[in-house]
Structure 1
Amino acid sequence: MKDLAGKVAVITGAGSGIGRGMARAFAGAGMHVVVADVELDAAEAVARELNGTAVRVDVTKPGDVRALADQVYREHGAVHLLCNNAGVALGGPLSDMTHDDWRWVVSVNIEGVANCLTAFLPRMKAQDGEAHIVNTGSIAGLVTIPEGGIYAATKYAVVAISETLRAELAPHNIGVTVLCPGSVRTNILGAARNRPDDLKDTTVEAPAEFSDPVGMMDPDQVGLEVRDAVIANALYSIPLTEGNKVLIPMVQARFDAIMKAMP
């Protein structure tokens, strides 16, 4: 989607971190950005900065997401860019994870994406012109991150969803990009502040890889890289810091092992 100016972008989890970085990048390209976040104050602050629209949305609730889609289509008539970015993380051995740990992370990172696709995709397919979808995965969706099993499982799912969508939506003039960044300075360490009360039976924290801000990417830079990927209609966007580049041989080894196992 090369012409962004004057078009409409909807970005979930856009009140901070990568979502805010994407909002700034796409607003800078002339798009009207709908800043969707479970924390309305944060969404409003970003919307004021960008002259966008703030909406409180819990992506785990299909009704919230349907209401978001209804509002945007009522006010703007189209959605040209949908960024499914809201996400949470937990860390620790899988043997220590509880059922509620799984339920929480899956509900946001996978079901949240599914809810947005269900609400928006039929209308995006029916509208005229180009459109694009960005799903936020992670480098953890491409390579093993110790003690990040639940998070990685959901991000592998996001990669698979994106690859499937890419093939399915090509005939409809809708591009798909999966964002798989390395370490980025975000608020993901504090995601448990929004964890539902009925799913809070754990003391597990986010993976250690998220705990050291030194050397992490600026989310605004990630946003610019995503914008470039959308314009280029690239399937993968994988922003990495210099420190994260040690993961590249690990990704290569994984795919080499897969190829070796094939007859």
Structure 2
Amino acid sequence: MKQLVRSGDVRLAVWTHGDPANPTVVLVHGYPDTHVVWADVVEELVDRFHVVTFDNRGAGASDCPPGIDPYRIENLAADLRAVLDAVSPDEPVHLAGHDWGAILAWELVADPSAAGRIASFTSVAGGCLDHIGHWMRGWASHPRASAVQLLHSWYVAAFQVPGLGALPWRLGLGSQWDALLARLEGVAPRERVRTRGADGEIGVRLYRANVLRRLTDPGERRTTVPVQVVHADDDHYVRPGMAADLDRWVPQLWRRRIAAGHWAPLTHGPVLARMITELVDLVRGTHAAPALTRVRGGGEFGGKLVLVTGAGSGIGAATARAFAALGAEVVAVDVDAAAATRTADEVGGHAHAVDVSDEAGMRKLADDVVAAHGVPDVVVNNAGIGHSGTFLDTTVDEWRRVLDVNLWGVVHGCREFGARLVQRGEGGHVVNVASAAAWLPATDLAAYATSKAAVAMLSDCLRGELAGHGVGVSTICPGIVDTNITRTSTFSGLDDSAQEARRAHAASVYGKRNFRPEGVAAEIVDAVRRDRAVVPVTPEAKVVRLLARLSPALLRTLAAGGLDRGH
């Protein structure tokens, strides 16, 4: 339903959706948009909330007062207060703002006189001008971030020149705006905004009326309102550095990411709607989403959920400890329930027992983990088994066992959790532990090397597929590492006593090599941190990788001669 709300001499066009008896969510648009930018979000929220959108002064169907001063942020904040009073006079509202909508919403959120009117605030691709001003004053402590933001904000300086910012709109940019967004940002607006040209031209006054005076003389703006700041990974205009010191102003703060560009309301409406809903539910005490309750954690991976398979010992257990030490909440998965529990207890995490080769079991694991803890931010597919034998000596059953665990276990992990990462829309990372054997054509590692080579290629394919969703994929390739895999490996064509003798010999060789699982875990953490594609870990793995690239024939000759191999 459309109505007009008066703020002083300005009439604002306001649209209400849903049952007024439900909690009220007010969505504030940015530049050069109108309320239409929130259409997909409204569609997702309307069943549970009383949703309100409106056109800011100077945009869409609202009044456009002449001059620069009417567009001071204090006036726009007064407009927002008038809308709140009209649509929810007796109850506090939940705010969400995008771009300049977030900027003007911050003005009210940080206003002590508005205390009690705002229950929560979701800020997308915009910040408080005063906070940004203080951050810019401290540029010496973050020169690189400051330089990056200045480069991305080139247009702000251009808009300060009288007439320059409005000129492209006067020359017809409005008629080309949708096509430009589609080409540069991958955005497909659901409906054409007929006032776009005028909105763009008038909206430049926001920059001229507010930016310089606020950034050069910032005030002390604090708030006790629960706030979540959503940063879009591919935002070409607002970089995350500007919110680095936001904790000093906002004690109840959550930081979240979305695998989107600047116009996330248009491209990822359902994801934003879910984030808004999660904060509203948390504030109202109706439901605490696991992902949101972790977002405030400390440490480099504070607030992140990390799932590790094969976490009962070796590389998996070391990886669980490494991420936990950096603040992550860990889900330890292993076929051995007792081993998974030991690791989980050590890191203060959660234990799950499953055979990774079991498709139904992995699907249930994913369902259980997501229901209890949320979608993991990092998934480490580490579980694997060792096997030695030539191709002709390796039985079909042995092939199946090796491929079921080493390859299909990774496939199941990637499918079940990769799909959920994409659906969540907040990015993430998948780590697949392969081996240097993936590049080594060893005659006595036929099944094992084949399984690891397949994992490496799977990872490369998946990396390309998931990149557009903000999900990284890394392949970790250790060489000889002292882990329990040597004590559980099997050997083709040997009886039980001979198998035990070979295991003891392998364990002795790997023990003398003395490369610990913690070294691999450190590389896994770094691969996630830097989004590395392929990581050969040990010196011998790096040599094998180099030879595989430079001289495959020489590598085949050396491999046929009986190099020591391992996971």
Q: TM-score, normalised by structure 2?
A: 0.42
Give the deviation of 1:249 after TM superposition.
Answer: 5.3
- Give the distance between the partners of 1:209 and 1:248, measured in 2 at CA: 22
- Give the distance between the partners of 1:137 and 1:255, measured in 2 at CA: 22
Query: Following superposition of structure 1 onto structure 2, how do residues 96-135 of structure 1 map, counting pairs within 5 Å?
Result: 96-135=393-432
Give the deviation of 1:229 after TM superposition.
Answer: 1.1
Q: Tell me the equivalent position of 2:523.
A: 225
Q: How many pairs align?
A: 251
- Give the distance between the partners of 1:148 and 1:229, measured in 2 at CA: 27
Give the deviation of 1:128 after TM superposition.
Answer: 3.2
Give the deviation of 1:216 after TM superposition.
Answer: 3.4
Question: Residues 182 and 239 of structure 1 are in contact (CA less than 8 Å); yes or no, is this contact kept in structure 2?
Answer: yes
- Give the distance between the partners of 1:119 and 1:255, measured in 2 at CA: 38
What secondary structure sits across from 2:512 in the alignment?
coil
Give the deviation of 1:236 after TM superposition.
Answer: 1.0
Question: Residues 354 and 365 of structure 2 are in contact (CA less than 8 Å); yes or no, is this contact kept in structure 1?
Answer: yes
Q: Choose the corresponding residue for 2:466, options 166, 169, 193.
A: 169
Question: Residues 487 and 507 of structure 2 are in contact (CA less than 8 Å); yes or no, is this contact kept in structure 1?
Answer: no
What secondary structure sits across from 2:522 in the alignment?
helix
Q: Tell me the equivalent position of 2:514.
A: 216
Q: Which structure has the larger Rg over C-alpha atoms? A: 2
Measured against aligned partners, the alpha-carbon deviations of 1:10-47 in whole angstroms (never above 9, x if no partner) come to 11101011111111111111111100000011111111
Structure 2 residue 306 is the aligned partner of structure 1 residue 9:
yes
Give the deviation of 1:201 after TM superposition.
Answer: 8.9
- Give the distance between the partners of 1:145 and 1:256, measured in 2 at CA: 12
Q: Choose the corresponding residue for 2:359, options 57, 62, 80.
A: 62
Q: Tell me the equivalent position of 1:22.
A: 319
Q: Tell me the equivalent position of 1:144.
A: 441
- Give the distance between the partners of 1:76 and 1:224, measured in 2 at CA: 25
- Give the distance between the partners of 1:171 and 1:248, measured in 2 at CA: 28
Structure 2 residue 370 is the aligned partner of structure 1 residue 73:
yes
Q: Choose the corresponding residue for 1:153, options 450, 454, 474.
A: 450
- Give the distance between the partners of 1:244 and 1:162, measured in 2 at CA: 18
Change (3 A) 1:139 1:209: farther
Structure 2 residue 325 is the aligned partner of structure 1 residue 32:
no
- Give the distance between the partners of 1:201 and 1:148, measured in 2 at CA: 13
Change (3 A) 1:153 1:44: same
Residue identity over aligned pairs, in percent, reads: 35
Larger mean Cα displacement after TM superposition, 73-82 or 161-170: 73-82
Question: Residues 181 and 238 of structure 1 are in contact (CA less than 8 Å); yes or no, is this contact kept in structure 2?
Answer: yes
Question: Residues 60 and 107 of structure 1 are in contact (CA less than 8 Å); yes or no, is this contact kept in structure 2?
Answer: yes
Give the deviation of 1:127 after TM superposition.
Answer: 0.9
- Give the distance between the partners of 2:488 and 2:430, measured in 1 at CA: 24
Change (3 A) 1:210 1:150: farther
What secondary structure sits across from 1:179 in the alignment?
strand
Q: Tell me the equivalent position of 2:382.
A: 85
What secondary structure sits across from 2:392 in the alignment?
helix
Question: Residues 10 and 83 of structure 1 are in contact (CA less than 8 Å); yes or no, is this contact kept in structure 2?
Answer: yes
Change (3 A) 1:66 1:248: closer
Change (3 A) 1:246 1:123: closer
- Give the distance between the partners of 1:11 and 1:120, measured in 2 at CA: 12
- Give the distance between the partners of 2:335 and 2:455, measured in 1 at CA: 20
Question: Residues 183 and 209 of structure 1 are in contact (CA less than 8 Å); yes or no, is this contact kept in structure 2?
Answer: no
CA RMSD of aligned residues (A): 2.7
- Give the distance between the partners of 2:513 and 2:326, measured in 1 at CA: 27
What secondary structure sits across from 2:442 in the alignment?
coil
Counterpart code for 2:526: D
- Give the distance between the partners of 1:171 and 1:216, measured in 2 at CA: 40
Q: TM-score, normalised by structure 1?
A: 0.87
Structure 2 residue 484 is the aligned partner of structure 1 residue 187:
yes
Question: Residues 189 and 210 of structure 1 are in contact (CA less than 8 Å); yes or no, is this contact kept in structure 2?
Answer: yes
Gaps of 5+ in 2: 1-256, 258-298, 556-567
Gaps of 5+ in 1: 194-199, 258-263
Give the deviation of 1:130 after TM superposition.
Answer: 2.5
- Give the distance between the partners of 1:81 and 1:70, measured in 2 at CA: 16
- Give the distance between the partners of 2:339 and 2:543, measured in 1 at CA: 34
